[in-house]
């Protein structure tokens, strides 16, 4: 057994070497993309069409904004002052943060949704109207649909030449309201209930339709919350910007202004609510305090009348005045402590200090009362009654003052938020940005096309290197038939009835590759190239085995050889001749070689078709008739080429292998795995020890490749991507795609 056969059978590497690097350089990537430029163009055009249609389909949105200012006062300012410099170090939260959350609260937005009727919608319909931006408009300020029919489709249709009326169609298609006018409220009985509708504004053409929807104010408020963009401008500036987009510019401005006014009103109400509660409490307690004061004054007057007038000395008056002053100071401290307790806990130093001062004043008051016990009993009683009158009078006067102050606060409270800029109606839409959408769509289409091209390239993970085949199998690659875009190769009946390609395109590089194949076969044989039988095989169907057989036979015939082409695929024959008989008829004895072999395309080229038979094809090929036929053909022709079925599908080619002198294995570029090639060749080697070689068909040009085109030779030098330049790319692309192929 020769070394070549040993390598094929064992599958060992004849010349171990480092594996080929499968990495793709930048130059190779660009060449791959250029080859698939029309695929990329298709992706780009499709993406541009889709992007353009989407840009036209999206309804325009108009944005508007309102500017609010939050005054830094109240709790935040007091907290910062209380902490001093430490408050600045810790960077306490801006008061605008809390206000932003309040603006986005349901308390504000649900009220706005109800006031602006955001839960009532009249959605325009019509594909072309939307695509051409000719949709009408219908604003509702009142809509009531019977609850059990709300999930069904209610429609309003514009009527009148001027589009100044509308009708309402119920879900079953019946019109229940006709010639309704905008601005008027309609109440129509329907299914033991009623339909209530009033259109506030309508601008549409006759025949345009709208779908009527009654939603929930709560859900509309949530949708509005998601659409609002509320943020503070700058850091701790207290300036809040509220931005909102709507299909109609006037609606965007109206909704924003309603949000600002509603929030401002609720802000004022929230800040005055505490004063309202305190005022109500004081007003409820005032009658009882007044009653206590009147009772104390009456008791004092009765006691004086009983004992007569008592002349109080200066010490007693000073004692009473001092006691009244201490009582007033204790009340003032109690009020300050209540205010501090709203901001701080009881353990806070400010609260603790106020409590200590109160305790101290109470201690002084107790000592003062103890010293009053030394006075005469009559003076003590008068002093006690006068103290009670003075205390009740002080409490009553303080309550009257507080009530008056709270009434002033309630009337004059303006809140800590003010509107700086109201929302204005914008004239130009903020989105969609149609040009940006188109550019992004084109870019996305190009990237998707690139991904598709490289995915298809990677899916074709078959062998592309001739040196790798030779190294792994030990067999020579005679020639690489290039891939051609010639229209002749795209005709379905070219192989069956057409003239061989090499006879029609004598100056094509595919023709030159067959000339090289004939020369390579001659030098691969150990015997003279006369009266030889060459077997052409393929691993699977679709590799171009029959194309190689026909054009190799035509090339040899054009060079003066008398060639016989036998189509041994009796299941699905490709080569047809004028005779009604074929190979099957010769093998079963119905006809002879002279009867079947017909000259075709060239005086030196004869073809024997496959023929048809109901007998077992393998049995015919295994019979002595096949051996006898090939011996007869050797004597009458200089070259016999046998085209066989695929190796991996049937065993026909394996039965013919021992009868031939040379075998050609046709592989398609990038379509076969090395393991499949080695397995098939080792199986063939068990039947025949005759020499063979490999032909790679439909090879695509790559950098580092010699070629021939239009009688000019060229060489594509592979370049490292680190030394890549656009000049080299243009030279490469120009040399490759400047001509037909």
Give the pLDDT band (50/70/90) at residue 304: low
| Between 234 and 385, residue with greater pLDDT | 234
pLDDT attached to residue 381: 66
* Section 67-83 average pLDDT: 58
CA angle 272, 275, 276 (to 5 degrees): 85
Between 412 and 618, the more confident residue is: 618
Tokens representing residue 553 in the block = 């036979």
pLDDT band of residue 200 (cuts 50, 70, 90) is: very high
Q: Worst-scoring range by mean pLDDT, 84-88, 639-643, 661-665?
A: 84-88
Share of the chain above pLDDT 90, in %: 21
Give residue 3's pLDDT band: very low, low, confident or very high (50, 70, 90): very low
Nearby residues of 723 by Cβ (< 8 Å), 6 or more positions away: none
Cis peptide bond N-terminal to 432, omega within 30:
yes
Instruction: Name the band, by pLDDT with cuts 50, 70 and 90, for residue 383.
Output: low
Q: What is the pLDDT of residue 314?
A: 59
pLDDT tens readout for residues 703-724: 544 443 333 433 344 434 333 4
DSSP code of 133?
Answer: T
Flag the least confident range among 430-434, 451-455, 508-512, 636-640: 508-512
Longest dimension (CA), the chain: 170
User: What six digits make up the tokens of 170?
Assistant: 């119920």
b/e 252-290 (16+ beta carbons within 10 angstroms → b)? bbbbbbbbbebbbebbeeebbeebeebbeebeeebeebe
Query: Given this model, what pLDDT does residue 16 score?
Result: 39
Quick check: 730 pLDDT over 50?
A: no
Among the ranges 185-199, 399-413, 596-610, which has the highest mean pLDDT value? 185-199
Assess whether pLDDT exceeds 50 at residue 110. Answer: yes
Helix H or strand E encompassing 123: strand 120-124
- Which of 71-85, 129-143, 341-355, 374-388 is predicted least confidently? 71-85
Check if the beta carbon of residue 681 is closer than 8 Å to that of residue 710: no
Would you list the domain boundaries of the chain?
A: 3-18+465-700, 63-265, 272-413
What confidence tier does 342 reach under pLDDT thresholds 50, 70, 90?
A: low
- Which range has the worst mean pLDDT, 15-29, 90-104, 163-177? 15-29
pLDDT at 568 over 50: yes
∠ Cα 673 677 683 (to 5°): 145
Q: Which has the higher per-residue pLDDT, 407 or 395? A: 395
Please give the model's pTM, rounded to 2 decimal places.
0.57
Residue 418 backbone dihedrals phi, psi, to 5 degrees: -135, 150
User: How far is Cα 27 from Cα 728, in angstroms, rounded to an integer?
Assistant: 9
Alpha carbons within 13 angstroms on the beta-carbon side of residue 91 total 3
pLDDT at 64: 93
Tell me: pLDDT of 122 over 80: yes
Res. 376: pLDDT tops 80:
no
Q: Which residues contact 255 (CB under 8 A, 6 or more apart)?
A: 112, 116, 118, 224, 244, 246
pLDDT of residue 724: 40
Contact predicate 291/399, CB 8 Å: no
Tell whether the model's pLDDT for residue 328 goes beyond 50.
yes
Res. 275: pLDDT tops 70: no
Q: Which of 627, 595, 623 is nearest to 611 (CA)?
A: 595
Q: Which alpha helices (DSSP H) does 196-248 contain, by range? A: 217-227
Per-residue confidence (pLDDT) for residue 133, from 0 to 100 = 87
Across 298-307, 410-419, 560-569, the highest mean pLDDT is recorded for 560-569
Res. 649: pLDDT tops 50: yes
Give the pairing of strands 165-169 and 154-159: antiparallel
Superfamily of domain 3-18+465-700: P-loop containing nucleotide triphosphate hydrolases (3.40.50.300)
Band of residue 74 on the pLDDT scale cut at 50, 70, 90:
very low
Confidence of residue 72 (pLDDT cuts 50, 70, 90): low
Average pLDDT of the chain to the nearest whole number:
78
pLDDT at 739: 39
Mean pLDDT of 620-648: 85
Q: In this model, does residue 7 exceed pLDDT 60?
A: no
> In angstroms, rounded to a whole number, what is the distance separating the alpha carbons of residues 736 and 728?
12
Question: Which of the listed ranges 137-151, 400-414, 596-610 does the model predict with the highest average pLDDT?
Answer: 137-151
| Span 421-477, pLDDT tens digits | 899 998 899 888 999 999 999 999 999 999 998 888 777 667 777 888 888 888 888
Least confident range from 120-134, 153-167, 615-629: namely 615-629
Residue 518 has what pLDDT?
86
Higher pLDDT, 24 or 536: 536
pLDDT band at 211 (very low <50, low <70, confident <90, very high): very high
* Tokens matching residue 385: 């009654």
Please give the pLDDT value at position 199: 94
- What pLDDT was estimated at residue 708? 39
């Amino acid at each position: 057994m020769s070394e070549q056969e040993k390598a094929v059978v064992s599958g060992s590497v004849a010349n171990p070497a480092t594996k080929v690097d499968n990495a793709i350089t930048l130059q190779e990537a660009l060449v791959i993309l250029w080859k698939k430029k029309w695929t990329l163009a298709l992706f780009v055009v499709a993406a541009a069409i889709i992007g353009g249609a989407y840009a036209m389909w999206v309804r325009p949105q108009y944005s508007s904004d309102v500017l609010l200012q939050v005054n830094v006062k109240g709790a935040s300012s007091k907290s910062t002052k209380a902490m001093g410099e430490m408050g600045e170090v810790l960077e306490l939260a801006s008061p605008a943060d809390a206000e932003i959350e309040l603006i986005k609260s349901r308390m504000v937005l649900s009220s706005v949704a109800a006031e602006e009727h955001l839960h009532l919608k009249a959605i325009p319909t019509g594909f072309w109207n939307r695509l051409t931006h000719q949709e009408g408009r219908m604003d509702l300020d009142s809509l009531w649909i019977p609850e059990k029919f709300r999930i069904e489709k209610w429609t309003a249709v514009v009527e009148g030449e001027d589009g100044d009326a509308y009708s309402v169609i119920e879900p079953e298609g019946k019109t229940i309201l006709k010639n309704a006018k905008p601005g008027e409220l309609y109440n129509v009985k329907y299914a033991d209930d009623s339909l209530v509708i009033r259109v506030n504004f309508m601008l549409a053409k006759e025949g345009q339709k709208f779908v009527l929807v009654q939603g929930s104010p709560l859900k509309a408020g949530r949708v509005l919350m998601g659409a609002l963009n509320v943020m503070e401008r700058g850091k701790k500036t207290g300036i809040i910007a509220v931005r909102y987009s709507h299909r109609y510019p006037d609606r965007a401005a109206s909704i924003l202004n309603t949000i600002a006014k509603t929030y401002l009103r609720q802000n004022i109400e929230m800040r005055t609510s505490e004063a309202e509660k305190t005022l109500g409490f004081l007003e409820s307690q005032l009658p009882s305090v007044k009653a206590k004061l009147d009772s104390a004054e009456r008791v004092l007057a009765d006691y004086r009348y009983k004992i007569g007038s008592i002349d109080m000395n200066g010490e007693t008056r000073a004692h009473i005045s001092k006691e009244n002053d201490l009582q007033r100071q204790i009340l003032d401290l109690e009020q300050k402590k209540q205010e501090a307790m709203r901001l701080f806990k009881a353990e806070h130093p400010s609260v603790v200090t106020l409590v200590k001062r109160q305790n101290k004043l109470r201690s002084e008051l107790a000592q003062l009362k103890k010293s009053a016990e030394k006075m005469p009993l009559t003076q003590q009683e008068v002093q006690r009654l006068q103290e009670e009158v003075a205390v009740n009078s002080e409490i009553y006067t303080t309550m009257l003052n507080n009530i008056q102050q709270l009434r002033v606060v309630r009337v004059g409270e303006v809140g800590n938020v003010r509107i700086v800029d109201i929302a204005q109606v914008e004239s130009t839409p903020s989105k969609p940005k149609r040009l940006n959408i188109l550019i992004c769509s084109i870019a996305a289409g190009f990237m998707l096309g690139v991904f598709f091209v490289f995915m298809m390239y990677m899916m074709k993970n078959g062998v592309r290197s001739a040196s790798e085949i030779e190294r792994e199998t030990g067999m020579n690659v005679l020639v690489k038939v290039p891939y051609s875009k010639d229209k002749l190769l795209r005709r379905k009946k070219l192989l069956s009835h057409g003239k061989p390609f090499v006879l029609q395109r004598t100056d094509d590089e595919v023709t030159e590759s067959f000339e090289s194949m004939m020369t390579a076969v001659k030098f691969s044989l150990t015997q003279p190239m006369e009266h030889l039988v060459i077997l052409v095989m393929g691993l699977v169907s679709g590799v171009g085995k029959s194309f190689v057989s026909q054009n190799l036979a035509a090339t040899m015939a054009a060079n003066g050889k008398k060639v016989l082409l036998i189509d041994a695929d009796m299941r699905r024959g490709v080569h047809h001749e004028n005779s009604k008989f074929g190979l099957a008829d010769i093998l079963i004895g119905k006809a002879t070689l002279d009867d079947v072999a017909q000259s075709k395309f060239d005086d030196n080229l004869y073809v024997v078709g496959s023929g048809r038979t109901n007998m077992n094809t393998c049995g015919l090929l295994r019979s002595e008739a096949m051996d006898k036929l090939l011996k007869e053909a050797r004597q009458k022709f200089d070259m016999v080429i046998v085209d066989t079925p695929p190796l991996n599908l049937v065993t026909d080619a394996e039965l013919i292998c021992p009868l031939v002198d040379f075998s050609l294995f046709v592989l398609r570029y990038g379509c076969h795995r090395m393991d499949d090639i080695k397995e098939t060749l080792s199986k063939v080697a068990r039947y025949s020890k005759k020499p063979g070689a490999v032909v790679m068909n439909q090879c695509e040009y790559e950098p580092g490749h010699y070629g021939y085109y239009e009688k000019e030779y060229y060489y594509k030098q592979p370049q490292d991507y680190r030394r890549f330049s656009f000049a080299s790319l243009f030279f490469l692309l120009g040399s490759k795609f400047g001509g037909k192929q």
